[in-house]
Amino acid sequence: MSWIATAQFYDNLRRLLLAGMTMSEALDSSASTSRGPYKAWATQWAQHCQNGDALGPQLPEAYPVAKALITAGEGSGRMPELCKTISDFYEQCHQTRMEMIGKSIYPIFLFHFATIVPIGVFSYMGAMPPWAAAVGPSVFWGTALLLFIFYKLNKNSTWFHQLLLAPPFGLVIKPFATYMMCLVLEACVNAGMKYPESLRETAKSTPNLVMRNLLNEGADLIEAEKLSSCAAAVGRLPIHKTVKDLCENGERSGKLEESLQRCIVFERERYNSALKWAAKTVNAIIYTIAIIVAVIVIIAGFGAYVGMLNSIKSPLG
Entry field: residues in the chain: 317
| Residue 181 contacts residue 187 (beta carbons within 8 Å) | no
Query: What are the pLDDT tens digits along the chain (317 aa)?
Result: 588 889 999 999 999 999 999 999 999 998 888 888 888 899 999 999 989 899 988 998 888 899 999 988 888 888 999 999 999 999 998 988 888 888 888 888 888 887 787 777 667 666 677 787 788 888 889 999 999 999 999 999 999 999 999 998 999 999 999 999 999 999 999 888 899 999 999 999 898 999 999 999 999 999 999 998 999 999 999 999 999 999 999 999 999 999 999 999 999 999 999 998 988 888 888 888 878 877 877 777 677 666 666 666 555 45
Our measurement of the distance from residue 121's CA atom to the centroid of its chain's CA atoms, rounded to an integer in Å, reads 41
Contact present, 191 and 256 (Cβ < 8 Å): no
What angle (nearest 5°) sits at the alpha carbon of residue 48, between those of residues 46 and 53? 120
DSSP codes joined into one string, 140-201: HHHHHHHHHHHHHHHTT-HHHHHHHHSTTTHHHHHHHHHHHHHHHHHHHHHTT--HHHHHHH
